[in-house]
Structure 1
Amino acid sequence: MSGIGRPAGRRGVGGLAEGIGFCFRGLGWVSRHPRWWVFGLIPALIALVLYALALVWLGTHATDVAAWATPFADDWGWRDGFRTLVGVMIFVAGLALAVLTFTAVTLVIGDPFYEKLSERVEEDLGGLPGGGDLPFWSSLFRSIRDSLVTLWWVLLFSVPLFVLGFVPVVGQTVVPVVGAFVSGFFLTVELTALAMERRGLRRKERFALLRSNLSVSLGFGVPLFLAFLVPLVSVVAMPGAVAGAAMLVRMRLAPAPAPKDQAQGDQASGGQAPGGQARDTRPA
Protein backbone atom coordinates (compact mmCIF):
# COMPACT_ATOMS: atom_id res chain seq x y z
CA MET A 1 0.00 0.00 0.00
CA SER A 2 2.42 2.65 -1.15
CA GLY A 3 -0.39 5.19 -1.35
CA ILE A 4 -1.27 5.03 2.36
CA GLY A 5 -0.36 8.20 4.15
CA ARG A 6 0.38 10.11 0.96
CA PRO A 7 -0.27 13.81 1.60
CA ALA A 8 -2.94 15.60 -0.35
CA GLY A 9 -1.06 17.32 -3.08
CA ARG A 10 -1.88 15.96 -6.50
CA ARG A 11 -4.27 18.38 -8.10
CA GLY A 12 -5.65 19.34 -11.49
CA VAL A 13 -5.63 16.82 -14.32
CA GLY A 14 -3.48 14.37 -12.38
CA GLY A 15 -5.93 14.34 -9.48
CA LEU A 16 -8.91 13.89 -11.81
CA ALA A 17 -7.19 10.96 -13.52
CA GLU A 18 -6.36 9.42 -10.15
CA GLY A 19 -9.99 9.69 -9.03
CA ILE A 20 -11.20 8.10 -12.26
CA GLY A 21 -8.68 5.31 -11.68
CA PHE A 22 -10.36 4.42 -8.39
CA CYS A 23 -13.69 4.04 -10.23
CA PHE A 24 -12.11 1.35 -12.41
CA ARG A 25 -10.31 -0.23 -9.44
CA GLY A 26 -13.61 -0.67 -7.65
CA LEU A 27 -15.29 -2.16 -10.70
CA GLY A 28 -12.30 -4.44 -11.18
CA TRP A 29 -12.52 -5.63 -7.58
CA VAL A 30 -16.18 -6.64 -7.79
CA SER A 31 -15.57 -8.31 -11.16
CA ARG A 32 -12.99 -10.51 -9.42
CA HIS A 33 -15.40 -11.16 -6.54
CA PRO A 34 -18.77 -11.81 -8.25
CA ARG A 35 -20.37 -13.12 -5.04
CA TRP A 36 -19.84 -9.74 -3.39
CA TRP A 37 -21.09 -7.98 -6.51
CA VAL A 38 -24.37 -9.90 -6.30
CA PHE A 39 -24.51 -9.21 -2.55
CA GLY A 40 -24.11 -5.49 -3.25
CA LEU A 41 -26.90 -5.52 -5.85
CA ILE A 42 -29.59 -6.33 -3.28
CA PRO A 43 -30.18 -2.85 -1.78
CA ALA A 44 -30.00 -1.13 -5.18
CA LEU A 45 -32.62 -3.54 -6.54
CA ILE A 46 -34.86 -2.87 -3.53
CA ALA A 47 -34.52 0.89 -4.05
CA LEU A 48 -35.17 0.50 -7.80
CA VAL A 49 -38.43 -1.37 -7.17
CA LEU A 50 -39.59 1.24 -4.64
CA TYR A 51 -38.77 4.14 -6.98
CA ALA A 52 -40.39 2.39 -9.95
CA LEU A 53 -43.62 1.86 -7.98
CA ALA A 54 -43.57 5.48 -6.79
CA LEU A 55 -43.01 6.83 -10.33
CA VAL A 56 -45.72 4.58 -11.81
CA TRP A 57 -48.16 5.85 -9.19
CA LEU A 58 -47.13 9.45 -9.85
CA GLY A 59 -47.46 8.95 -13.60
CA THR A 60 -50.99 7.55 -13.31
CA HIS A 61 -52.14 10.13 -10.73
CA ALA A 62 -50.26 13.23 -11.91
CA THR A 63 -53.43 14.91 -13.17
CA ASP A 64 -55.22 14.24 -9.87
CA VAL A 65 -52.27 15.69 -7.96
CA ALA A 66 -52.31 18.70 -10.29
CA ALA A 67 -56.05 19.20 -9.66
CA TRP A 68 -55.46 19.03 -5.90
CA ALA A 69 -52.60 21.54 -6.18
CA THR A 70 -54.52 24.03 -8.36
CA PRO A 71 -57.98 24.53 -6.82
CA PHE A 72 -57.90 28.12 -8.10
CA ALA A 73 -58.30 26.80 -11.65
CA ASP A 74 -61.67 25.09 -11.07
CA ASP A 75 -63.60 27.77 -12.97
CA TRP A 76 -61.15 28.17 -15.83
CA GLY A 77 -62.41 27.14 -19.23
CA TRP A 78 -59.02 25.70 -20.15
CA ARG A 79 -58.35 24.09 -16.77
CA ASP A 80 -57.96 20.57 -18.22
CA GLY A 81 -55.14 21.59 -20.53
CA PHE A 82 -53.54 23.65 -17.75
CA ARG A 83 -53.71 20.79 -15.26
CA THR A 84 -52.33 18.36 -17.82
CA LEU A 85 -49.33 20.67 -18.24
CA VAL A 86 -48.96 20.96 -14.45
CA GLY A 87 -49.22 17.16 -14.16
CA VAL A 88 -46.41 16.72 -16.67
CA MET A 89 -44.28 19.21 -14.73
CA ILE A 90 -45.00 17.35 -11.48
CA PHE A 91 -43.94 14.05 -13.02
CA VAL A 92 -40.75 15.57 -14.47
CA ALA A 93 -39.97 17.10 -11.06
CA GLY A 94 -40.56 13.72 -9.41
CA LEU A 95 -38.29 12.03 -11.92
CA ALA A 96 -35.56 14.61 -11.30
CA LEU A 97 -35.94 14.16 -7.54
CA ALA A 98 -35.67 10.40 -7.99
CA VAL A 99 -32.37 10.82 -9.86
CA LEU A 100 -31.04 13.16 -7.17
CA THR A 101 -32.04 10.98 -4.23
CA PHE A 102 -31.63 7.44 -5.58
CA THR A 103 -28.03 7.00 -4.45
CA ALA A 104 -28.65 8.46 -0.99
CA VAL A 105 -31.73 6.27 -0.44
CA THR A 106 -29.91 3.20 -1.75
CA LEU A 107 -27.03 3.82 0.64
CA VAL A 108 -29.43 4.17 3.59
CA ILE A 109 -31.30 0.98 2.65
CA GLY A 110 -28.06 -0.84 1.95
CA ASP A 111 -26.07 0.43 4.93
CA PRO A 112 -25.51 -3.06 6.45
CA PHE A 113 -24.84 -4.55 2.99
CA TYR A 114 -22.37 -1.88 1.90
CA GLU A 115 -20.71 -1.85 5.31
CA LYS A 116 -19.87 -5.54 4.86
CA LEU A 117 -18.79 -5.01 1.26
CA SER A 118 -16.57 -2.06 2.21
CA GLU A 119 -15.05 -4.04 5.09
CA ARG A 120 -14.35 -6.97 2.77
CA VAL A 121 -12.49 -4.67 0.36
CA GLU A 122 -10.31 -3.33 3.17
CA GLU A 123 -9.64 -6.82 4.51
CA ASP A 124 -8.51 -7.79 1.03
CA LEU A 125 -6.14 -4.80 1.02
CA GLY A 126 -4.46 -5.69 4.32
CA GLY A 127 -6.94 -5.48 7.16
CA LEU A 128 -9.53 -3.21 8.75
CA PRO A 129 -8.35 -0.02 10.44
CA GLY A 130 -8.58 0.06 14.21
CA GLY A 131 -11.16 2.24 15.94
CA GLY A 132 -14.21 4.11 14.74
CA ASP A 133 -16.67 1.20 15.13
CA LEU A 134 -20.27 2.09 16.01
CA PRO A 135 -23.26 -0.06 17.02
CA PHE A 136 -25.54 -0.91 14.10
CA TRP A 137 -28.42 1.40 15.08
CA SER A 138 -26.10 4.31 15.84
CA SER A 139 -24.44 3.80 12.48
CA LEU A 140 -27.83 3.61 10.70
CA PHE A 141 -29.23 6.76 12.30
CA ARG A 142 -25.99 8.63 11.62
CA SER A 143 -26.14 7.46 7.99
CA ILE A 144 -29.72 8.74 7.65
CA ARG A 145 -28.85 12.06 9.27
CA ASP A 146 -25.74 12.55 7.15
CA SER A 147 -27.67 11.64 3.99
CA LEU A 148 -30.32 14.25 4.81
CA VAL A 149 -27.64 16.88 5.41
CA THR A 150 -25.96 15.98 2.13
CA LEU A 151 -29.31 16.09 0.32
CA TRP A 152 -29.92 19.56 1.78
CA TRP A 153 -26.61 20.77 0.37
CA VAL A 154 -27.40 19.19 -3.01
CA LEU A 155 -30.77 20.97 -3.14
CA LEU A 156 -29.12 24.21 -2.01
CA PHE A 157 -26.96 24.08 -5.14
CA SER A 158 -29.52 22.49 -7.45
CA VAL A 159 -32.28 25.07 -7.05
CA PRO A 160 -30.23 28.08 -8.26
CA LEU A 161 -28.68 25.93 -10.98
CA PHE A 162 -32.18 24.95 -12.11
CA VAL A 163 -33.17 28.62 -12.33
CA LEU A 164 -29.96 29.50 -14.18
CA GLY A 165 -30.77 26.71 -16.64
CA PHE A 166 -33.35 29.02 -18.25
CA VAL A 167 -30.73 31.65 -19.04
CA PRO A 168 -29.89 31.49 -22.77
CA VAL A 169 -26.51 29.99 -23.68
CA VAL A 170 -25.29 29.81 -20.06
CA GLY A 171 -28.14 27.47 -19.12
CA GLN A 172 -27.26 25.07 -21.92
CA THR A 173 -23.46 25.11 -21.53
CA VAL A 174 -22.09 26.22 -18.16
CA VAL A 175 -24.93 25.09 -15.89
CA PRO A 176 -24.91 21.37 -16.88
CA VAL A 177 -21.13 21.21 -16.35
CA VAL A 178 -21.30 22.92 -12.94
CA GLY A 179 -24.26 20.71 -11.99
CA ALA A 180 -22.32 17.56 -12.86
CA PHE A 181 -19.35 18.68 -10.77
CA VAL A 182 -21.54 19.58 -7.78
CA SER A 183 -23.47 16.30 -7.96
CA GLY A 184 -20.26 14.33 -8.47
CA PHE A 185 -18.66 15.85 -5.39
CA PHE A 186 -21.63 15.04 -3.17
CA LEU A 187 -21.81 11.54 -4.62
CA THR A 188 -18.21 11.07 -3.44
CA VAL A 189 -19.27 12.42 -0.03
CA GLU A 190 -21.96 9.73 0.20
CA LEU A 191 -19.88 6.84 -1.08
CA THR A 192 -16.81 7.50 1.08
CA ALA A 193 -18.80 7.94 4.30
CA LEU A 194 -18.53 4.27 5.32
CA ALA A 195 -14.76 4.03 5.05
CA MET A 196 -14.24 7.43 6.68
CA GLU A 197 -16.55 6.65 9.59
CA ARG A 198 -14.52 3.48 10.07
CA ARG A 199 -11.58 5.80 10.75
CA GLY A 200 -13.53 7.87 13.26
CA LEU A 201 -14.01 10.84 10.89
CA ARG A 202 -17.21 12.81 11.37
CA ARG A 203 -19.17 14.72 8.76
CA LYS A 204 -17.33 18.05 9.00
CA GLU A 205 -13.96 16.29 8.92
CA ARG A 206 -15.02 14.25 5.89
CA PHE A 207 -16.15 17.35 4.00
CA ALA A 208 -12.89 19.13 4.81
CA LEU A 209 -10.82 16.15 3.67
CA LEU A 210 -12.71 15.85 0.39
CA ARG A 211 -12.49 19.59 -0.29
CA SER A 212 -8.72 19.52 0.31
CA ASN A 213 -8.52 16.72 -2.30
CA LEU A 214 -11.08 18.31 -4.62
CA SER A 215 -9.70 17.15 -7.97
CA VAL A 216 -9.46 13.53 -6.81
CA SER A 217 -12.96 13.72 -5.30
CA LEU A 218 -14.38 15.09 -8.55
CA GLY A 219 -12.46 12.59 -10.64
CA PHE A 220 -14.09 9.79 -8.68
CA GLY A 221 -17.62 11.20 -8.32
CA VAL A 222 -18.34 12.94 -11.63
CA PRO A 223 -17.92 9.86 -13.89
CA LEU A 224 -20.07 7.83 -11.52
CA PHE A 225 -22.74 10.54 -11.46
CA LEU A 226 -22.84 10.66 -15.26
CA ALA A 227 -22.96 6.86 -15.45
CA PHE A 228 -25.75 6.72 -12.85
CA LEU A 229 -27.90 8.92 -15.11
CA VAL A 230 -28.24 5.95 -17.47
CA PRO A 231 -31.16 3.73 -16.40
CA LEU A 232 -30.13 0.62 -14.41
CA VAL A 233 -26.41 1.54 -14.51
CA SER A 234 -26.61 2.85 -10.94
CA VAL A 235 -27.96 -0.55 -9.85
CA VAL A 236 -25.29 -2.59 -11.61
CA ALA A 237 -22.38 -0.27 -10.79
CA MET A 238 -23.22 0.56 -7.17
CA PRO A 239 -21.20 -2.33 -5.64
CA GLY A 240 -18.16 -1.29 -7.68
CA ALA A 241 -18.65 2.33 -6.60
CA VAL A 242 -18.69 1.30 -2.93
CA ALA A 243 -15.56 -0.82 -3.42
CA GLY A 244 -13.80 2.01 -5.26
CA ALA A 245 -14.73 4.45 -2.48
CA ALA A 246 -13.18 2.16 0.15
CA MET A 247 -9.98 2.02 -1.93
CA LEU A 248 -10.03 5.79 -2.47
CA VAL A 249 -10.20 6.47 1.27
CA ARG A 250 -7.67 3.82 2.25
CA MET A 251 -5.08 4.46 -0.43
CA ARG A 252 -5.44 8.17 -1.11
CA LEU A 253 -7.55 10.29 1.20
CA ALA A 254 -6.94 9.06 4.75
CA PRO A 255 -4.04 7.08 6.21
CA ALA A 256 -5.24 3.71 7.49
CA PRO A 257 -4.70 3.16 11.23
CA ALA A 258 -3.28 -0.17 12.33
CA PRO A 259 -5.57 -3.12 11.54
CA LYS A 260 -7.78 -4.29 14.40
CA ASP A 261 -5.84 -7.46 15.15
CA GLN A 262 -2.54 -5.60 15.22
CA ALA A 263 -3.98 -2.82 17.39
CA GLN A 264 -5.34 -5.36 19.87
CA GLY A 265 -1.98 -7.15 19.96
CA ASP A 266 -0.17 -3.87 20.59
CA GLN A 267 -2.56 -3.02 23.40
CA ALA A 268 -2.06 -6.41 25.04
CA SER A 269 1.73 -6.04 24.90
CA GLY A 270 1.64 -2.51 26.30
CA GLY A 271 2.51 -0.97 22.92
CA GLN A 272 6.03 -2.41 22.99
CA ALA A 273 7.97 -4.09 20.25
CA PRO A 274 10.04 -7.23 20.89
CA GLY A 275 13.02 -6.36 23.03
CA GLY A 276 11.09 -3.92 25.21
CA GLN A 277 11.29 -0.93 22.85
CA ALA A 278 8.28 1.23 22.27
CA ARG A 279 6.40 0.22 19.13
CA ASP A 280 5.84 2.93 16.52
CA THR A 281 2.12 2.68 15.68
CA ARG A 282 1.99 5.69 13.39
CA PRO A 283 0.77 5.09 9.82
CA ALA A 284 3.53 4.23 7.39
Structure 2
Amino acid sequence: MSPAPARSAVRQFFDGVAYLGRGLKMWGSDPRLMLFGALPALIVAAVYLAVLVVLFVNAATLAEWATPFADEWDEGWRTTLRVTAVIAFLALGALLVVYTYTAITLVVGDPFYEKIWRSVENRLGGIPDEVETAFWPSVLRGILDALRILLATLLIGICLFALGFIPVLGQTVVPVLGAAVAGWFLALELTGKAFEARGRTLRQRRRALAAMRPTALGFGIASYLVFLIPFGAVFVMPAAVAGGALLSRQALADDAGSAGAL
Protein backbone atom coordinates (compact mmCIF):
# COMPACT_ATOMS: atom_id res chain seq x y z
CA MET A 1 0.00 0.00 0.00
CA SER A 2 1.50 3.34 -1.05
CA PRO A 3 1.89 6.04 1.59
CA ALA A 4 -0.58 8.91 1.64
CA PRO A 5 0.64 11.91 -0.37
CA ALA A 6 2.06 14.75 1.68
CA ARG A 7 -0.25 17.73 2.07
CA SER A 8 0.89 20.85 0.26
CA ALA A 9 2.24 23.78 2.26
CA VAL A 10 -0.84 25.83 1.30
CA ARG A 11 -3.22 23.17 2.63
CA GLN A 12 -1.13 22.86 5.80
CA PHE A 13 -1.32 26.66 6.20
CA PHE A 14 -5.11 26.57 6.07
CA ASP A 15 -5.10 23.63 8.48
CA GLY A 16 -3.45 26.08 10.89
CA VAL A 17 -6.10 28.73 10.23
CA ALA A 18 -8.70 26.06 11.02
CA TYR A 19 -7.23 25.64 14.53
CA LEU A 20 -8.21 29.22 15.32
CA GLY A 21 -11.66 28.51 13.88
CA ARG A 22 -12.00 25.47 16.14
CA GLY A 23 -11.02 27.64 19.09
CA LEU A 24 -13.70 30.16 18.12
CA LYS A 25 -16.31 27.38 18.03
CA MET A 26 -15.68 26.82 21.72
CA TRP A 27 -17.45 30.13 22.40
CA GLY A 28 -20.68 28.27 21.73
CA SER A 29 -19.78 25.25 23.85
CA ASP A 30 -18.54 27.20 26.87
CA PRO A 31 -19.28 30.94 26.49
CA ARG A 32 -18.94 31.61 30.23
CA LEU A 33 -15.36 30.29 30.27
CA MET A 34 -14.49 32.24 27.14
CA LEU A 35 -15.91 35.49 28.52
CA PHE A 36 -14.00 34.80 31.73
CA GLY A 37 -10.84 34.49 29.61
CA ALA A 38 -11.51 37.84 27.92
CA LEU A 39 -11.01 39.77 31.18
CA PRO A 40 -7.18 39.86 31.24
CA ALA A 41 -7.07 40.78 27.55
CA LEU A 42 -9.48 43.65 28.27
CA ILE A 43 -7.38 44.86 31.23
CA VAL A 44 -4.12 44.83 29.24
CA ALA A 45 -5.85 46.49 26.26
CA ALA A 46 -7.08 49.31 28.53
CA VAL A 47 -3.55 49.86 29.90
CA TYR A 48 -2.02 49.83 26.42
CA LEU A 49 -4.67 52.25 25.15
CA ALA A 50 -3.87 54.65 27.98
CA VAL A 51 -0.15 54.43 27.15
CA LEU A 52 -0.84 55.11 23.46
CA VAL A 53 -2.98 58.13 24.37
CA VAL A 54 -0.15 59.52 26.53
CA LEU A 55 2.29 58.87 23.67
CA PHE A 56 -0.02 60.63 21.19
CA VAL A 57 -0.42 63.67 23.45
CA ASN A 58 3.34 63.96 24.02
CA ALA A 59 4.56 62.91 20.57
CA ALA A 60 5.34 66.49 19.48
CA THR A 61 7.38 67.12 22.64
CA LEU A 62 9.27 63.86 22.11
CA ALA A 63 9.99 64.83 18.52
CA GLU A 64 11.46 68.18 19.61
CA TRP A 65 13.53 66.44 22.29
CA ALA A 66 14.89 63.94 19.76
CA THR A 67 15.81 66.57 17.15
CA PRO A 68 17.50 69.50 18.95
CA PHE A 69 19.92 69.84 16.01
CA ALA A 70 17.00 71.07 13.86
CA ASP A 71 16.30 74.15 16.01
CA GLU A 72 18.29 76.39 13.67
CA TRP A 73 16.94 74.87 10.45
CA ASP A 74 14.59 76.61 8.06
CA GLU A 75 11.04 76.34 9.42
CA GLY A 76 9.79 74.20 6.53
CA TRP A 77 12.56 71.59 6.89
CA ARG A 78 12.31 71.65 10.69
CA THR A 79 8.55 71.05 10.58
CA THR A 80 8.92 68.24 8.04
CA LEU A 81 11.55 66.50 10.14
CA ARG A 82 9.56 66.76 13.36
CA VAL A 83 6.30 65.62 11.76
CA THR A 84 8.23 62.61 10.47
CA ALA A 85 9.61 62.03 13.97
CA VAL A 86 6.09 62.21 15.45
CA ILE A 87 4.86 59.63 12.95
CA ALA A 88 7.87 57.43 13.70
CA PHE A 89 7.26 57.58 17.47
CA LEU A 90 3.57 56.72 17.04
CA ALA A 91 4.34 53.92 14.59
CA LEU A 92 6.99 52.47 16.89
CA GLY A 93 4.59 52.63 19.84
CA ALA A 94 1.93 50.81 17.83
CA LEU A 95 4.50 48.23 16.71
CA LEU A 96 5.55 47.54 20.30
CA VAL A 97 1.91 47.12 21.30
CA VAL A 98 1.30 44.62 18.49
CA TYR A 99 4.41 42.58 19.23
CA THR A 100 4.16 42.56 23.03
CA TYR A 101 0.41 42.42 23.66
CA THR A 102 0.05 38.64 23.56
CA ALA A 103 3.06 37.91 25.76
CA ILE A 104 1.98 40.44 28.41
CA THR A 105 -1.64 39.28 28.32
CA LEU A 106 -0.64 35.63 28.74
CA VAL A 107 1.46 36.54 31.80
CA VAL A 108 -1.27 38.72 33.35
CA GLY A 109 -4.03 36.23 32.62
CA ASP A 110 -2.11 33.04 33.36
CA PRO A 111 -4.74 31.56 35.78
CA PHE A 112 -7.54 32.39 33.32
CA TYR A 113 -5.80 30.87 30.32
CA GLU A 114 -4.60 27.83 32.22
CA LYS A 115 -8.25 27.03 32.95
CA ILE A 116 -9.14 27.33 29.24
CA TRP A 117 -6.12 25.28 28.15
CA ARG A 118 -6.80 22.55 30.71
CA SER A 119 -10.48 22.45 29.70
CA VAL A 120 -9.43 21.73 26.09
CA GLU A 121 -6.94 19.07 27.21
CA ASN A 122 -9.55 17.36 29.40
CA ARG A 123 -12.06 17.28 26.56
CA LEU A 124 -9.50 15.45 24.45
CA GLY A 125 -8.54 12.87 27.09
CA GLY A 126 -6.33 14.80 29.48
CA ILE A 127 -2.53 14.86 29.63
CA PRO A 128 -1.29 11.27 30.06
CA ASP A 129 2.36 12.33 30.08
CA GLU A 130 1.99 15.38 32.35
CA VAL A 131 5.09 16.15 34.37
CA GLU A 132 4.55 17.35 37.93
CA THR A 133 6.81 20.30 38.73
CA ALA A 134 7.11 22.57 41.75
CA PHE A 135 5.01 25.73 41.42
CA TRP A 136 7.68 28.42 41.60
CA PRO A 137 10.27 26.72 39.32
CA SER A 138 7.47 26.20 36.79
CA VAL A 139 6.41 29.85 37.00
CA LEU A 140 10.01 31.04 36.71
CA ARG A 141 10.66 28.88 33.64
CA GLY A 142 7.46 30.14 32.02
CA ILE A 143 8.45 33.77 32.63
CA LEU A 144 11.98 33.23 31.29
CA ASP A 145 10.66 31.52 28.17
CA ALA A 146 8.18 34.36 27.64
CA LEU A 147 10.97 36.93 28.02
CA ARG A 148 13.16 35.10 25.50
CA ILE A 149 10.34 35.06 22.98
CA LEU A 150 9.47 38.69 23.71
CA LEU A 151 13.08 39.86 23.29
CA ALA A 152 13.48 38.02 19.98
CA THR A 153 10.14 39.41 18.79
CA LEU A 154 11.08 42.99 19.68
CA LEU A 155 14.51 42.81 18.02
CA ILE A 156 13.10 41.46 14.77
CA GLY A 157 10.13 43.84 14.95
CA ILE A 158 12.39 46.90 15.32
CA CYS A 159 14.50 45.73 12.35
CA LEU A 160 11.36 45.35 10.24
CA PHE A 161 10.20 48.78 11.42
CA ALA A 162 13.43 50.31 10.13
CA LEU A 163 13.12 48.44 6.81
CA GLY A 164 9.60 49.81 6.49
CA PHE A 165 11.03 53.20 5.53
CA ILE A 166 12.57 51.77 2.34
CA PRO A 167 10.37 52.82 -0.61
CA VAL A 168 8.31 50.03 -2.24
CA LEU A 169 10.00 47.29 -0.17
CA GLY A 170 8.69 48.83 3.04
CA GLN A 171 5.12 48.92 1.73
CA THR A 172 5.04 45.44 0.14
CA VAL A 173 7.52 42.87 1.40
CA VAL A 174 8.00 44.16 4.94
CA PRO A 175 4.31 43.94 6.01
CA VAL A 176 4.20 40.32 4.80
CA LEU A 177 7.40 39.50 6.67
CA GLY A 178 6.03 41.30 9.73
CA ALA A 179 2.87 39.19 9.69
CA ALA A 180 4.92 36.00 9.28
CA VAL A 181 7.27 36.89 12.15
CA ALA A 182 4.42 37.95 14.44
CA GLY A 183 2.48 34.81 13.51
CA TRP A 184 5.39 32.51 14.29
CA PHE A 185 6.00 34.05 17.70
CA LEU A 186 2.27 34.03 18.47
CA ALA A 187 2.21 30.29 17.75
CA LEU A 188 5.20 29.83 20.07
CA GLU A 189 3.55 31.84 22.85
CA LEU A 190 0.11 30.25 22.58
CA THR A 191 1.44 26.68 22.68
CA GLY A 192 3.58 27.21 25.77
CA LYS A 193 1.35 25.63 28.42
CA ALA A 194 0.89 22.31 26.66
CA PHE A 195 4.62 21.85 26.15
CA GLU A 196 5.53 23.01 29.66
CA ALA A 197 3.00 20.58 31.20
CA ARG A 198 4.81 17.75 29.44
CA GLY A 199 8.23 18.90 30.58
CA ARG A 200 9.27 20.18 27.14
CA THR A 201 11.70 23.08 26.82
CA LEU A 202 11.36 26.15 24.62
CA ARG A 203 13.93 24.64 22.24
CA GLN A 204 11.85 21.46 21.93
CA ARG A 205 8.75 23.57 21.34
CA ARG A 206 10.47 25.44 18.53
CA ARG A 207 11.62 22.18 16.97
CA ALA A 208 8.17 20.58 17.11
CA LEU A 209 6.46 23.62 15.59
CA ALA A 210 9.20 24.02 12.98
CA ALA A 211 8.43 20.48 11.79
CA MET A 212 4.92 21.69 10.91
CA ARG A 213 5.84 25.30 10.13
CA PRO A 214 3.12 26.03 7.50
CA THR A 215 0.43 24.89 9.95
CA ALA A 216 1.95 26.85 12.84
CA LEU A 217 2.21 29.95 10.63
CA GLY A 218 -1.39 29.56 9.46
CA PHE A 219 -2.61 29.53 13.05
CA GLY A 220 -0.30 32.34 14.17
CA ILE A 221 -0.90 34.67 11.21
CA ALA A 222 -4.68 34.20 11.41
CA SER A 223 -4.53 35.10 15.12
CA TYR A 224 -2.28 38.08 14.41
CA LEU A 225 -4.59 39.49 11.72
CA VAL A 226 -7.63 39.18 13.99
CA PHE A 227 -5.68 40.84 16.81
CA LEU A 228 -5.12 43.86 14.53
CA ILE A 229 -8.87 44.53 14.49
CA PRO A 230 -9.69 47.08 17.23
CA PHE A 231 -10.50 45.08 20.38
CA GLY A 232 -10.31 41.89 18.32
CA ALA A 233 -7.66 40.49 20.65
CA VAL A 234 -9.87 41.07 23.69
CA PHE A 235 -12.52 38.67 22.47
CA VAL A 236 -10.41 36.31 20.37
CA MET A 237 -7.56 35.74 22.84
CA PRO A 238 -9.43 32.97 24.74
CA ALA A 239 -10.23 31.27 21.43
CA ALA A 240 -6.58 31.60 20.38
CA VAL A 241 -5.50 29.95 23.65
CA ALA A 242 -7.93 27.10 22.93
CA GLY A 243 -6.68 26.84 19.35
CA GLY A 244 -3.09 26.83 20.64
CA ALA A 245 -3.94 23.86 22.88
CA LEU A 246 -5.31 21.98 19.87
CA LEU A 247 -2.28 22.85 17.75
CA SER A 248 0.03 21.77 20.57
CA ARG A 249 -1.50 18.29 20.75
CA GLN A 250 -0.97 17.83 17.01
CA ALA A 251 2.62 19.11 17.19
CA LEU A 252 3.41 16.85 20.16
CA ALA A 253 1.83 13.84 18.47
CA ASP A 254 3.80 14.46 15.26
CA ASP A 255 6.99 14.99 17.24
CA ALA A 256 6.48 11.74 19.14
CA GLY A 257 5.79 9.94 15.86
CA SER A 258 8.95 11.32 14.29
CA ALA A 259 11.02 10.31 17.31
CA GLY A 260 9.52 6.79 17.24
CA ALA A 261 10.33 6.40 13.56
CA LEU A 262 14.03 7.04 14.13
* Cα distance per residue 1:66-90 (max 9 Å; x no partner): 3333343444563566444423321
Asked if residue 59 in structure 1 is aligned to residue 53 in structure 2, the reply is no
Most deviating of 191-200 and 13-22: 13-22
Identical columns (%): 44
TM-score by length of 1: 0.79
| Structure 1: gaps spanning 5 or more residues | 1-8, 257-281
Query: In the aligned structure 1, how far is the partner of 2:244 from the partner of 2:203?
Result: 18
1:50 paired with 2:47, answer: yes
Separation in 1, partners of 2:135, 2:26: 26
Alpha-carbon shift at residue 22 of structure 1 (Å): 1.1
> Cα distance 1:223–1:54, how it changes in 2: closer, same or farther (>3 A)?
same
Deviates more, 1:164-173 or 1:50-59: 164-173
Counterparts of residues 83-232 of structure 1 (less than 5 Å)? 83-232=82-231
Q: Deviations over 1:210-232 (max 9, x none)?
A: 11111111121111111111111
Q: Are the equivalent residues in 2 in contact too, given 1:11–1:216 (CA < 8 A)?
A: no
CA contact (8 A) 2:92 2:161 kept: no
- Residue equivalent to 2:3: none
CA–CA separation in structure 1 for the residues paired with 2:167 and 2:108: 40
Flag the 1:53–1:167 CA change in 2: closer, same or farther, 3 A.
Answer: closer
Ranges in structure 2 where 5+ consecutive residues have no aligned partner: 1-5, 255-259
Measured in 1, the distance between the counterparts of 2:61 and 2:181 equals 34
* Structure 2 match to 1:266: none
Tell me if 1:254 matches 2:231: no
In the alignment of these two chains, the number of paired residues is 248
User: Cα deviations across residues 24-69 of structure 1 (Å, max 9, x unaligned)?
Assistant: 1111123210111011111101101110111111111222223333
TM-score, normalised by the number of residues in structure 2 = 0.85
What CA distance in whole angstroms lies between the structure 2 residues aligned with 1:169 and 1:66? Answer: 26
Judging changes above 3 Å, is the alpha-carbon distance between structure 1 residues 15 and 85 closer, same or farther for their aligned structure 2 residues?
closer
Q: Is contact 2:95-2:157 (8 Å) kept?
A: no
- CA contact 1:11–1:213 (8 Å) conserved in 2: no
Instruction: Choose which of 10, 15, 20 in structure 1 pairs with 2:12.
Output: 15
Larger Rg: 1
RMSD: 2.4
Cα contact 2:99–2:157 (8 A) shared by 1: no
Shift of 1:146: 1.7
Note if contact 2:63-2:82 (Cα within 8 Å) is conserved in structure 1.
yes
For residue 182 of structure 1, report the CA deviation from its aligned partner: 1.8
1:11–1:215: 8 Å Cα contact kept in structure 2? no
Q: Contact (CA 8 Å) 1:111, 1:140: kept in 2 or not?
A: no
Q: For residues 173 and 167 of structure 1, what CA distance do their matches in structure 2 show?
A: 10
Name the CA distance, whole Å, in 1 between partners of 2:202 and 2:67.
40
Please give the secondary structure, in 1, of the residue aligned with 2:253: coil
